[in-house]
Amino acid sequence: MTQRIDAIVVGLGAAGGIIATELAHAGLKVVGLEKGAFYSDADFQSKFDEIRYYTRSAIVPHMGTDPITWRPNNEQEAAILPWAANKLGLGDPFQVPPSIGTGGGTQSWGAAAFRFREKDFNMRSTIIERFSEAALPEDTTVVDWPISYNELEPYYDRVEWELGVAGKAGNINGEIFNDGNPFEAPRSRNYPMPPLTRGSTDNLFVKTSTRLGYHPYPTPTAIATVDYKGRPACTNCGYCHGYHCHVGAKLSTNDLIRSAAAETDNLEVRPHVRVFRVNRDPNGRVKGVSYFDSEGKIIVLEADIVILGCYALENSRLLLASGINRNGQVGKHLMIHNYGWFTGILPEWTNPFMGSLQGGSVLDDFTSELIPDNEDGILWGSPINTWTGDMQPIETVHSLPPHVPRWGKDFKEWISENYRRLFKMYSQHSTLPSNKFYCDLDPKIKDKFGQPALRITHDWTEYDRKAVEFFMKIKRQIAQEMGMLEWWEDSPAPAYHITVHDVGTHRMGWDPTSSVVNPFGEVHECQGLYAVGGGQFPTLPSYNPTETIMALAYMTADYLLGRVTSNKKEEAFQ
């Protein structure tokens, strides 16, 4: 059975959802292929169920159906993710790939919506200029991006205003506003909505960090704080990360997909299917895809445009499984975040079960190139974020301090006394790309369709540990000044090696010998095939990647529709 359409989009998440809807609104006939469900409002009504969504991982990949293996290095045998292979599923939405189903990770994300900084696009040049090339780790593959902040700024603005992001600007066309982020890159205008209501204890964090000389600002968030383009304002329900939004306040590309499918008659969504190969013609040009439908039958679909809009890991798996890796770069340069979780108990009630986790503040005093001179050789900094709400009971139990028992009388007493007084901080240390850490196809483990699992080779380095510890010292200083009674910290070399911020595995660049795609996402090796999303990132800045993924998706859509052009030379962006 063979069918013909204009474009195929594989994966309808942050990137694929935007591109599919943009093409459909422009008049192209598009088929969206999605591994999970095509969600409706009715699917979200039972969201307040921590057993279903957190413990049993209802909307994220299971290792039984979507196996991923991990090993710390080439010398060891890989095993199915040991931290995500328990009988009840996951237990932590930060430690497996994002949700499946229309909207992808934007269904269950915490909705932090950061722009990258200007220097984030020139990490290698900035580090060399400040610290010298000798300061870089010997095996790093860090490079500058082939595009700049200024070239992406109009697309950041488009995400924030077309889709709706709440926040407070700190730099509008060079004018600094101290109640926003005074360190941010210049933006052309403010956010369309005011920031989320801050959690009750965030005021203490703001006063304390300000007294210490830092510059807290409200977290920019893709959650409506007022009625915005049909999205109602957030109700502060306290079930945000890991959950659908039951009122639709949180931005999800599922809403865009449903609207385009209903309004244009140009977008057909095929849920519960699994693409297993990208097909090419004898000249190497993309021809379409092959997939298993919901009944396990093989379907061949043809189109001159194929967009892989899945998560970075799955995009890479599909490219590798299709034999598209002539230069050996697919799966390379894997980068992830180390969160440096820091949890404490305050004397007063914090009610952490109320409101979004993003109802807090961020310190950018040490982010990216703002990292101060240090003896530890830390080359790139991180924000320090607060987590003021959205702490459900079961998730909280999984992050208790080591001295607290997990059952019995003492456990009950500790929870009764302290659950309502918890407060979190975290940073987002970025690993540097390296030839040592990558993804490939597992030679032994396959899914139920006989397709090879993705294998991750990654471990934390001494550099990573030192960077996390650098920011732990700052968190301890703040905690002490806030009057915390007790605190505990995650290991600087934690057990996880997936963070939902995993990027870099199909790096973009103009040189087809050292990159997989061009800045518009087109695969150098296969004309008409696009691989878009976080896998394009040449480096991983210390902010959440989703707004940048969305901005790149809009740029790719404009390219496909002829709104921007390229001679496939760097000068095209100048």
pLDDT at 269 over 60: yes
Q: Using alpha carbons only, what angle is made at residue 356 by residues 336 and 13, rounded to the nearest 5 degrees? A: 50
Q: Using alpha carbons only, what angle is made at residue 276 by residues 299 and 513, rounded to the nearest 5 degrees? A: 130
pLDDT for the residue 58: 83
Average pLDDT, the chain: 93
- Is residue 516 very low, low, confident or very high in pLDDT (cuts 50, 70, 90)? very high
pLDDT at 570 over 60: no
Whole-angstrom distance, CA of residue 389 vs CA of residue 401: 19
- 303-337 pLDDT, tens per residue? 999 999 999 999 999 999 999 999 999 999 999 99
Find out whether 17 and 254 touch, Cβ atoms under 8 Å.
Answer: yes
Whole-angstrom distance, CA of residue 147 vs CA of residue 154: 13
- 109-145 pLDDT, tens per residue? 999 999 999 999 999 999 999 999 999 998 999 999 9
Q: DSSP states of 277-311 as a string?
A: EEEE-TTS-EEEEEEE-TTS-EEEEE-SEEEE-S-
- 210-239 pLDDT, tens per residue? 999 999 999 999 999 999 999 999 999 999
> Would you call 214 helix, strand, or coil by DSSP?
coil
Its domain, for residue 394, covers 2-573
Domain count, the chain: 1
The beta strand positions in 148-260, using DSSP E, are 171-172, 175-176, 216-218
Query: At 254, which CATH number?
Result: 3.50.50.60
The beta strand positions in 376-507, using DSSP E, are 384-387, 422-427, 429-430, 438-446, 452-457, 486-489
Residues with Cβ within 8 Å of 457's Cβ and at least 6 positions away in sequence, in order, are 70, 71, 72, 73, 74, 78, 334, 436, 437, 438, 439, 440
Which structure tokens are listed for 167? 């926040």
pLDDT at 87 over 80: no
Whole-angstrom distance, CA of residue 553 vs CA of residue 15: 5
- Lowest mean pLDDT, pick from 92-101, 344-353, 534-543: 92-101
pLDDT for the residue 61: 85
Percent of the chain surpassing pLDDT 90: 84
- Is residue 571 very low, low, confident or very high in pLDDT (cuts 50, 70, 90)? low
Which structure tokens are listed for 92? 């932590």
pLDDT at 574 over 70: no
State the average pLDDT over residues 98-116: 94
pLDDT at 2 over 70: no
State the average pLDDT over residues 416-421: 96
Find out whether 494 and 270 touch, Cβ atoms under 8 Å.
Answer: no
pLDDT for the residue 104: 94
State the average pLDDT over residues 146-150: 98
